[in-house]
């Protein structure tokens, strides 16, 4: 038996200075969809998420909360675990940067880079943003309120002078540009790759990678007065989870380099410039891809705690149900673009696509089988051309979905599935099995069999996005839990005539704002 192909996907590790919001749910959901899809497609998957718990912001947030940093991190990290559970994320590991394995890993990476001559000690003076955990050149600053200097993100900056270790990032300009040329899909969407290349071509300065003005972080090896700069600490989590510094470990050998690092566009530079440079400087392989997605607004407004329009994913799931939330977030906006959330748009999208399209197809088909076929899978006669064409087109959509998801175009994968849902609805409407009961019962049985087969295949394909709803639907079709992988699509897993089916029930209720409120 051939060895299964491997797939490693990561979220950014989330900073614990605040509680989870819709942005965190969105990023992890995208990774969950891709991980679930690859498992269904026979891959050995490693899906990693976790929390980034070091840095000056955490130290300040803990002090403001009147607790020590570790207790603060334990509490907030717990909320991210709760989010993963409430959204039914299927991550294989949840990593925390305060774990001893991570501290060992980050220090080992530092030592490799230093041993290769890419770290030196000096002094830093320049503009620093505590909120962004980033240094900025004078040319990057913008005017904020009252003429205050701010980072491009709008975060305030302060002038910082302190001893520091530096990474020789300037020496990696040409190697990085060559790496991007050799790997043109390293960053997606393509517009983000253009941004990265432009930034690197603009010239790279050596990067300050340690701090002495606070102590909540990973100590620099052999110089504990220095704490590692948060990005060299945080980024190392992706290899910590695979057993680094043991590069001969089974997980490291199996899963590195990562197939996809999923990130928000605001942290693209750290993942697409600093991280591959760190890895190459350590003599290790860079990841295969960084995908930078967009941000959500709320009813056209930028999401902000001060405005009070933060979207709470826990509340959204409680109001509308988990799979409706998962579907909307993955379907509404081209993945990679910015998107706007509105409750009206949410309800309209879910009612149109889930209740009216997929739900109606499944409920109508299964109800007619229950009523007209003694609640058993009907026995088809010889399939007509239109029957064969519908089933063959649905069977073929897997390859199209694979292509889209390998480019992280999740919205396009869903569009491809929904085109077949629409075709199946059109097929039932054209064949009118309700009218065939009296005129041609054999043809009625054939049409209902084909429709049920269409639902089975479409439900298997949609599992990655809506696992709970598709589990209920496949249960109603009598499909064993072991027969729901993509290897059961088409002829291989065809419904068995005469098999008793449970009583059908709706999978996608219609949503209304009144009921949610």
Q: Which two tokens stand for residue 371?
A: 């009523």
Residue 81: how many CA atoms within 13 Å on its side-chain side? 11
pLDDT at 33: 98
Calculate mean pLDDT across residues 178-197. 97
State yes or no: pLDDT of 515 exceeds 60: no
* Residue 369 within a domain: yes
* Residue 284 within a domain: no
From CA 221, how far away is CA 218, in angstroms rounded?
9
Residue 90: how many CA atoms within 13 Å on its side-chain side? 21
Greater confidence (469 vs 125) lies with: 469
Give the 3-state secondary structure of residue 95: strand
* Residue 186 within a domain: no
* Element holding 134 (H helix, E strand): strand 134-136
Average pLDDT across the chain, whole number: 93
State yes or no: pLDDT of 19 exceeds 50: yes
State yes or no: pLDDT of 498 exceeds 50: yes
State yes or no: pLDDT of 88 exceeds 90: yes
Report DSSP letters for 370-437, one per residue: HHHSTTBPPPP-SPPHHHHHHHHHHHHHHHHHHHHHHTT-HHHHHHHHHHHHHHHHHHHHHH-HHHHH
Greater confidence (67 vs 23) lies with: 67
Spatial neighbors of 286 by CB under 8 A, at least 6 apart, are 179, 186, 257, 275, 276, 279, 280
Calculate mean pLDDT across residues 16-25. 82
Strand partners, 136: 127
pLDDT at 517: 47
* Residue 407 within a domain: yes
Calculate mean pLDDT across residues 326-331. 95
111-137 per-position pLDDT tens digit: 999 999 999 999 988 888 888 877 788
Calculate mean pLDDT across residues 317-324. 93
pLDDT at 351: 96
* Residue 381 within a domain: yes
Total number of domains in the chain: 1
* Residue 497 within a domain: yes
Greater confidence (411 vs 19) lies with: 411
pLDDT at 54: 93
* Residue 464 within a domain: yes
pLDDT at 295: 85
pLDDT at 106: 98
Ligand-binding site membership of 150 (annotated): yes
* Residue 481 within a domain: yes
Query: Looking at residue 355, what DSSP letter applies?
Result: I
Q: Which two tokens stand for residue 347?
A: 């309800």
Q: Quote the domain boundaries for residue 494.
A: 353-516
pLDDT at 147: 78
Calculate mean pLDDT across residues 471-484. 97
> Which percentage of the chain shows pLDDT scores above 70?
98
Query: Looking at residue 217, what DSSP letter applies?
Result: S
The CATH number assigned to the domain holding 388 equals 1.10.730.10
């Amino acid at each position: 038996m051939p060895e299964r192909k491997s797939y490693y996907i990561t979220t950014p590790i989330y900073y614990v200075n605040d509680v989870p919001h819709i942005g965190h749910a969105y990023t992890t959901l995208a990774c969950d969809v891709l991980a679930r899809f690859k498992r269904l497609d026979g891959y050995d998957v490693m899906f990693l998420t976790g929390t980034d718990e070091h840095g000056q912001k955490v130290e300040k947030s803990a002090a403001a909360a009147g607790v020590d940093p570790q207790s603060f991190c334990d509490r907030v990290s717990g909320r991210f675990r709760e989010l993963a559970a409430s959204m039914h994320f299927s991550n294989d590991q949840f990593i925390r940067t305060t774990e001893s394995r991570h501290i060992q890993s980050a220090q080992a990476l530092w030592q490799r880079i230093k041993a290769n001559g890419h770290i030196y000690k000096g002094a830093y003076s320049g503009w620093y943003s505590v909120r962004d955990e980033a240094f900025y050149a004078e040319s990057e600053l913008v005017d904020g309120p009252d003429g205050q200097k701010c980072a491009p993100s709008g975060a305030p900056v302060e002038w910082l002078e302190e001893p520091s270790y530096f990474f020789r990032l300037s020496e990696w300009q040409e190697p990085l540009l060559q790496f991007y040329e050799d790997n043109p899909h390293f960053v997606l969407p393509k517009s983000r790759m253009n941004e990265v290349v432009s930034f690197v071509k603009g010239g790279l300065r050596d990067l300050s990678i340690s701090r002495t003005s606070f102590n909540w972080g990973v100590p620099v090896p052999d110089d504990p007065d220095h704490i590692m700069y948060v990005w060299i600490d945080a980024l190392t989590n992706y290899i910590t989870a695979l057993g680094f510094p043991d590069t001969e470990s089974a997980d490291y050998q199996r899963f590195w380099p990562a197939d996809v690092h999923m990130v928000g566009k605001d942290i693209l530079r750290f993942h697409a410039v600093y991280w591959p440079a760190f890895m190459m400087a350590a003599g290790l392989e860079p990841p295969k891809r960084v995908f930078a997605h967009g941000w959500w607004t709320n009813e056209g407004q930028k999401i902000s705690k001060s405005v009070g329009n933060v979207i709470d994913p826990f509340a959204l799931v409680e109001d509308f149900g988990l799979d409706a939330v998962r579907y909307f977030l993955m379907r509404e906006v081209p993945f990679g673009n910015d998107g706007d959330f509105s409750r009206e748009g949410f309800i309209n999208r879910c009612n149109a696509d889930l209740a009216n399209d997929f739900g109606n197809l499944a409920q109508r088909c299964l109800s007619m089988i229950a009523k007209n076929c003694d609640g058993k899978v009907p026995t088809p006669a010889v399939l007509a051309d239109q029957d064969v064409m519908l089933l063959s087109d649905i069977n073929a959509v897997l390859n199209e979905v694979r292509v889209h998801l390998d480019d992280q175009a999740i919205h396009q994968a869903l569009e491809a599935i929904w085109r077949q849902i629409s075709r199946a609805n059109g097929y039932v409407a054209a064949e009118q099995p309700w009218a065939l009961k009296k005129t041609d019962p054999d043809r009625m049985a054939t049409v209902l069999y084909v429709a049920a087969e269409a639902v089975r295949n479409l439900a298997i394909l949609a599992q990655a996005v809506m696992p709970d709803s598709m589990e209920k639907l496949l249960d109603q079709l009598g499909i064993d839990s072991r027969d729901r992988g993509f290897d059961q699509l088409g002829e291989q897993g065809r419904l068995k005539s005469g098999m008793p089916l449970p009583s059908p029930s709706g999978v996608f209720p219609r949503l209304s704002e009144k009921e949610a409120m």
